[in-house]
Structure 1
């Protein structure tokens, strides 16, 4: 198993992501400081934005360090999570993007598609995401500062 720094992880997903969410939760148990299950708890139809909000609440409140969101494709939870100030979420279906997103862009939520990738690859991606650390080099910080300014000001932050 990949070495994971002590992290508190909030995990959530809709009915389409439920089987993979459960598998990831089982495999992470004991390898993270805390695992906060934000639901869903079955394959009964439900709405992905609800779980993106719950995971984000834990991150914004400082109760979790990273978030994991799983829906059918990863797209819905990514779109919903990125509407929440302070959340930087991305769909990653490869290990490089999962760690590079943290290292260069300070990504704090990993989104994956439970109907897109298999469980073994999903676990490799999760481990890559959770073991990565933000490395604020000058160019990375400059770019992240621009993203944060867009988040703060909306379109008013963009130059004409």
Structure 2
């Protein structure tokens, strides 16, 4: 699996931990930055990660900023993206099982590196169960196609 990952200045520390988890799971990390603590704009990282996933160049994406809110809003503007803002293990698993989320957003100022790593691992290892959820996800896809 190829995982695109990006962070702004407020998520750069956790990004490095998540890249380690991706590689530990035998997956490929596509690091799209940032690599600094100086203020940058989150859409400049969220949109390229989302575009990699939407185009199929990456199977999934992970985004980290201060709260995860800005990243998730920006990523969800890209057609075909179902970005979930997650700060707990239950939601990480549920959003893959039920929503087939293809991008994960987290906030470094909300959760620490240990929990972020656990969330990323659960999210990356959980497969979409489809079934009764497939009809709901397809309604989102159908709506997007009309826009």
TM-score (norm 1): 0.87
Aligned length: 147
1:132 is matched with which residue?
Answer: 126
1:35 aligns with 2:64: no
1:76 aligns with 2:70: yes
**Structure whose CA Rg is larger:** 1
Instruction: Give ranges in structure 2 of 5+ residues lacking alignment.
Output: none
Q: Which runs of 4+ in 1 moved over 4 A?
A: none
| 1:54-77 CA-partner distances (Å, limit 9, x unpaired) | 111221221211100000000000
TM-score (norm 2): 0.94
2:12 is matched with which residue?
Answer: 18
**Once structures 1 and 2 are overlaid, which stretch shifts more, 23-32 or 64-73?**
23-32
Instruction: Give ranges in structure 1 of 5+ residues lacking alignment.
Output: 1-6, 155-160
Secondary structure class of the residue paired with 1:144: helix
Residues 96-115 of structure 1 mapped to structure 2, 5 A cutoff: 96-115=90-109
Secondary structure class of the residue paired with 1:83: coil
